[in-house]
Amino acid sequence: MPRRLLSFACLVVVLVGCARSGPVATTVGTAAGGTAAGTPDASATRPATASASPEASATPTPSAPARVDCTKLKCVALTFDDGPGPQTPTLLATLVDKKVPATFFLVGRMIKQHPATARRIAQTPGMTVANHTMIHPMLTRIAAARAAAEITDNTKLIQKTTGVKPRYFRPPYGLHNNRTDAVAKKLGQAVVLWSAGALDWQYDTPAKIVEVTLPQITPGAIVLAHDIHPWTIKAVPSLIAKLRAKGYTLVSLDDILRNPRAGNTYSRGLH
Ligand code: NI
C-alpha cells in the first residue's frame, strides 16, 4: 500500500477504534492507540474564563483515605483528564464530600489558566496531579524532540505550580511509543492509560455517561473521564453511588497500581 494510503488507513483504524470502544490493551513500547483518539478531547481549545473566583473558593479537606489492598477488594480508580477547568473545583468538592480519591491528568495550557485549581488539587488529600502534556498533541505524530518537550515541560510546570513532582503520565489519545515512554521513564513517570472510558466527549448527559461507563468496569478498572465537561461533573455522584452499590471501592492510582515502574504502561490495576 502506498505510504500515504497506509497512513490514512491507520488513522481510520485509530479513529474507529476510539470512537467505539473500550480500552486498547497496549503493550509497553508500542504506539498502539488508546481509546480516545481523534475525539474532541481537546481541552486545550477551551477558552479560559478569566474569573479567578471559583478557583479560590474553599474546598473542605477530607481525611486521608486509608490504604487498601486491591488484590482483595474490588477496586476502581477514577481519573480526570484535560483540566484543570472552570468547574474542576466543583468536582473536587464532590470527591471530597464522597471521600473518593482521584487522579487529575493536567494539561499545561490549562494549568496556566487555572493555577490555583491545580494547586488545590495537589493539596487535597487523596488527590493526585499527573502529567498530560502542555498542549495535548498526538505525540506519535510530531517530532520526537517536540514530543519530549511536551512531556518534560509540563512536568516542570506541574512542579513549579503545585510543588508536586508528577509520577504518572498519560499520553493524549493514548498515543505513545518507545520514545515517549523513555522520556516518561527518565522523569520517573509510569505511563497510565485506562480500561474504561466515560465517553464524555461523545455523550453530553450525566445519565448517558453513567450508563455507558458502568458496564465497562471490572475489578482493577481505571476510568477515564474529563473534568472539562459539566455533564461529567454532574455524572460523578451517581457513578460513585452505583459503583459502591456494586461493591466497588474507589481508590487512588497509587493503590490500584501499587508501585508501578516508571516508563512502563498500565491500562488497569490490581484485582
Ligand atoms: Ni486528554
For the chain, give the secondary structure using H, E and C.
CCHHHHHHHHHHHHHHHHHHCCCCCCCCCCCCCCCCCCCCCCHHHCCCCCCCHHHHCCCCCCCCCCCCCCCCCEEEEEEEECCCCCCHHHHHHHHHHHCCCEEEEECHHHHHHCHHHHHHHHHCCCEEEEECCCCCCCHHHCCHHHHHHHHHHHHHHHHHHHCCCCCEECCHHHCCCHHHHHHHHHCCCEEECCCEECCCCCCCCHHHHHHHHHHHCCCCEEEEEECCCHHHHHHHHHHHHHHHHCCEEEECHHHHHCCCCCCCEECCCCC
Mean pLDDT of 170-182: 98
Assigned fold of 72-266: TIM Barrel (3.20.20)
Q: Is the pLDDT of residue 205 over 50?
A: yes
CB 204 within 8 Å of CB 197:
no
The region of weakest confidence among 56-60, 97-101, 135-139, 267-271 is 56-60
Ligand 1 centroid to Cα of residue 1, in Å, is 31
204 counts as catalytic: no
Residue 31 pLDDT > 60, yes or no?
no
Identity at 187, one-letter amino acid code: L
pLDDT tens string 208-251: 999 999 999 999 999 999 999 999 999 999 999 999 999 999 99
Residue ranges per structural domain of the chain:
72-266
What separation in Å is there between the alpha carbon of 45 and the centre of ligand 1? Answer: 11
Say if residue 23's pLDDT is above 50.
no
Catalytic residue among 41, 81, 82, 227: 81
At 193 the pLDDT is 98
Distance 170 CA to ligand 1 centre (A): 8
Q: Select from 76, 49, 38, 79 the least CA-distant residue to 174.
A: 38
Distance from residue 158's CA to the centre of ligand 1 (Å): 16
Work out the average pLDDT over 48-53.
36
Q: Say what the pLDDT of residue 202 is.
A: 87
Place of cell 477530607: 62
* Residue 132 known to be catalytic: no
The pLDDT of residue 167 is 98
Query: Rounded to the nearest whole angstrom, what is the distance from the C-alpha of residue 113 to the centroid of ligand 1?
Result: 16
Whether the pLDDT of residue 48 is over 80: the answer is no
Distance 41 CA to ligand 1 centre (A): 5
Q: How far is the CA of 70 from the centre of ligand 1 (A)?
A: 26
- Ligand 1 centroid to Cα of residue 64, in Å, is 27
Give the pLDDT score at 66. Answer: 52
Q: Is the pLDDT of residue 265 over 50?
A: yes
Active-site option among 226, 227, 254, 255: 226
**Structure confidence at residue 128 as a pLDDT band (50, 70, 90):** very high
